[in-house]
Structure 1
Amino acid sequence: MATMAGDTILEIRNLKKSFGAYQALKGVSLSVQQGEFIALVGPSGCGKTTLLKHIAGFEEPDSGTLAIGGQPMLGVPAAARPTSMVFQKLALFPHMTVADNIGFPLKLRKVDPATIATRVEEMIELMQLKREYLTRYPRQLSGGEQQRVALARSMISEPKLLLLDEPLSALDVKLKKVLQAELKRLHRSVGVTFVHVTHDLEEAIMLADRICVMRSGEILQVGGPNDIYYRPADSFVAGFIGDTNLLHVDVKGGAVSAPGLSAADPHVPAPYVAPGLGDGPALLMVRPELITPLGAGERADFILDVTITEIFCKGGTVQFRSSLANGAPLIFELPGASTQPANIGDSVRLGFPKRDIYLFRERAAA
């Protein structure tokens, strides 16, 4: 993780944008710190790409403010902003060599050719590209190499903010993993602030210092990957970031109860309860990897009896889908092994500790 200076590099306040009757942004506010890697995630149409375009200067808001490095950016054209953007389709110039592609932003600024050549060499080294690629054309490179060239071009002008609009989405899984690691290395080595739009939730958790979850033009939650994953703001965030289990429970005096759920002490400590949650219906969240099958005589803070309905081998892990007595689904995952601990149709007793749950109120659908 990059070291953060603690200074706010991007400040967005109450940003609103409509396209006709459609509200793309509904009063979005977000602060990003110098050197931070923040990922914008959410379903299609949630406003994350629209927000990125406002930061870049490709869109102007109907109202609200946006400042970069303390300087107001409303009305400032994209070319004059201290930002650089890597697009999903890369937009490399096919008629230019790699060297010319990378150096193009400096050429536009009328930087002298010798300085451009030096900076291009630095970018090639930073992106771990071979020097002989400088005279090649984009079509002569692999998809991963083209991606690195696009990143080099975006970094050569030393932007304050690097904006990434799903640049890895078109790559095959293996290459994507390689370039995700490269993005992490690049961010750590240069210390530039990254704002990354992605549909890949695993990618967001793996790369970002903080994740901003959006829906219907609003920000639902901003937090570290661990907070988003284990302490979601509501059921939408919980279900959007990875597989999870949401059990309908009743809360009374800090204790939870539900059909089929047994507990020696049903009281849940405050750290595992969403702020402001009182008595009444609630959701108990527990992630699949935190649930453990119990042997004869074994105990746990919470216990459920389920029937296995489906099994999926995922290589390093095995996912078991099951149902409770009332038909509600429940997923649990175990480390992969040469022998399978349960089969379809088996009845299994499962347990999980209080420290691995989170209670919150269900959010109404948008």
Structure 2
Amino acid sequence: MIAINDLKKIYNGVTVVNISHLEIKKGESVGLVGNNGAGKTTLFRLMLDLIRPDNGVVLSNGENVAGHEHWKNYTASYLDEGFLIDYLTPEEYFYFIGGLHRQSRATVDDYLSGMAEFFNGEILKKGKYIRDLSKGNQCKVGVVSCLLQNPELLMLDEPFANIDPSTQFRLKSLLKDLNKNKGVTTLISSHDLNHITDVCDRILLMEKGKIIKDIATSSSTLNELEDYFGVGQIIGSPVKVDGEENH
């Protein structure tokens, strides 16, 4: 579904993304992990054509995302509150998003009624603008606006960061259902290693702009990641990524 080739982004002489080749197949659930400054959010923004690469391409179903539009019809993403329209109420925003996808207000209302547990009584019918919501509740609005679109590809940047523990578990359940039962391709970045290894079947470890490890999630993956972030390297032999050894 996604193919990345020779992708580079350079800021002030520093290469912040440098990926020679990466493929994400349709229906995969992929987690992206790495320290601050690893290039995760920049990679997401390149994949969404929010910024242009200095070299290389991102292909979505064979279409270069730069300068094309069709991929937007099946892609939903939430990276931060900048994706929201903060002078609207949550209801107004959901109706706006639904309208973009030719959904009636009744259809939107019906969908939102099924999200009552996820909202935990904190979002709808409160008379608040989105800008007046907490960061966590803004995240809930952003995530639900993505799900409302019935995407084939869902991209979320740090969705667990600001939400309460109960909502974290509800979000994990939603993401698992989307992937396992509806075949949605999910790409999620997170600093929370427990959540990301629980939700995703494949983990990409990113450092200094490069994917240095591509792991099929297993019972040992969490320990492997904890070892890396605890001592600075993956325990075991060097791994080959894009034909090069990484230690």
Same-fold call, TM cutoff 0.5: yes
Q: Secondary structure at the match of 2:143?
A: helix
Gaps of 5+ in 1: 1-8, 247-282, 286-358
> Which residue of structure 1 lines up, in the alignment, with residue 172 of structure 2?
180
Q: Secondary structure at the match of 2:42?
A: helix
8 Å Cα contact 1:17/1:24 also seen in 2: yes
Gaps of 5+ in 2: 240-244
8 Å Cα contact 2:39/2:207 also seen in 1: yes
Distance 2:57 2:237 in 1: 32
Alignment RMSD (CA, Å): 3.6
How far has the Cα of 1:161 moved from its partner? 1.7
Distance 1:211 1:11 in 2: 16
Q: 1:1-366 counterparts in 2 under 5 A? A: 9-76=1-68, 80=72, 82-89=74-81, 91-108=83-100, 111=102, 115-129=103-117, 135-137=125-127, 147-226=139-218, 229=221, 239-240=227-228, 285=235, 359-361=236-238
How far has the Cα of 1:51 moved from its partner? 0.7
Compute the TM-score of the two structures, normalised by the length of structure 1.
0.55
Q: Secondary structure at the match of 1:154?
A: helix
How far has the Cα of 1:187 moved from its partner? 3.5
1:156-186 residue CA offsets vs partner (Å, 9 max, x unmatched): 3333321101122012445433433333234
Q: Secondary structure at the match of 1:360?
A: coil
8 Å Cα contact 1:56/1:84 also seen in 2: no
Distance 2:138 2:146 in 1: 12
Distance 2:114 2:3 in 1: 29
8 Å Cα contact 2:137/2:163 also seen in 1: no
**Number of equivalenced pairs:** 237
Distance 1:169 1:78 in 2: 31
1:304-346 residue CA offsets vs partner (Å, 9 max, x unmatched): xxxxxxxxxxxxxxxxxxxxxxxxxxxxxxxxxxxxxxxxxxx
- Structure with the largest fraction of helix: 2
Matched residues, percent identical? 25
- Cα 1:137–1:168, aligned 2, differ >3 Å: closer, same or farther? farther
Higher relative contact order (CA 8 A, sep 6+): 2
- Structure with the largest fraction of strand: 1
8 Å Cα contact 1:88/1:170 also seen in 2: no
8 Å Cα contact 1:96/1:137 also seen in 2: no
Higher Cα radius of gyration: 1
